[in-house]
Amino acid sequence: MKYTIFIFLVIILSGCSGTKRVVETQKPKEQTEIIVKTKDSIIQEKPITIINDSVIVNKDKTVKREEEIEKGNDFNQIVTKRFITTHQLWDELLSKHISDKGNVNYKSFKNEHKKLLDYINVLNLTFSSDDFRTFSKEDKLAYWINAYNAMTIDLILRNYPIKSIKDIDKPWDKRFWKLGEKWYNLNDIEHQILRKMDEPRIHFAIVCASVSCPKLLNKAYNALNLNEQLTNVTKEFLSDTSKNNISENKIELSKIFQWFTKDFKQNGSLIDFLNQYSSIKISAKAKKSFKTYNWNLND
């Protein structure tokens, strides 16, 4: 009888400890915030908790895993999860070290260089996953724009302090970053990937760490509102008189429009492209010139 009671107690205690271990594994691994676009196009902030690769929104609505979501074609939930798992750390770093005007605090960024390298490793893991092949064009554009900008910051931090990216020998040819089985440089990403995606507005989203380049957005690019983000940065770049001077009959443009003229003529002339985003209607016969490019660091 004593042995029977002893065995019974052992079984109960073992079951309790096992239950405890299961409960502990269900604790949230991460809690953060994400900008989500709802069906009526209103942007909202919702707290997100990730538990064992499931996503719980506002603690009361569980979202299915991605493979289940895809069966229902819920694009918003798919890209929301991708943003959280891929670009959330980059988004946090940008908000901390980039001003609203696009100035980069490289000194403070240097203190979190390891986090930046962690993000680039996340990019590698994402690129290496089977899921990457299912990404939409918007997901891929956001991925490569964020990758280019993060790698540019990394390049500067590896050589900081410097006065210009051009103080680095052949900066756009440095193969510091491995994604999947290939080592990439900035030229690869810009010319072999992004420019071939037929989206000329990428030229106002990727940055060269210089005063005359478009400002670095202090938030990550996101497939959910990528078109809006690209439109906004294009309009802002054109309206910045330090980068472009525009009037009806005379335009003085950034050299970006000279270097990549072909990209802006996919659906008409360069003037046609500019008139899509300029607040001033430019004449087709407007005189055109280009500004001197300032390569000093954008700090």
pLDDT given for residue 48 in this prediction: 38
Domain of residue 216: give its range. 79-290
pLDDT given for residue 65 in this prediction: 40
The answer to whether position 263 is within a domain reads yes
Residues (pLDDT < 50) of the chain are: 1-69
The answer to whether position 88 is within a domain reads yes
Which amino acid belongs to residue 241? Answer: T
The answer to whether position 58 is within a domain reads no
pLDDT given for residue 42 in this prediction: 30
Which amino acid belongs to residue 265? Answer: K
pLDDT digits (tens, 9 = 90+) for 205-227: 999 999 999 999 999 999 999 99
pTM for the predicted model, two decimal places = 0.77
Q: In angstroms, rounded to a whole number, what is the distance separating the alpha carbons of residues 130 and 279?
A: 43
The answer to whether position 49 is within a domain reads no
The answer to whether position 284 is within a domain reads yes
* Size of the chain in residues: 299
The answer to whether position 56 is within a domain reads no
The answer to whether position 39 is within a domain reads no
The answer to whether position 140 is within a domain reads yes
Number of domains the chain contains = 1
pLDDT given for residue 168 in this prediction: 98
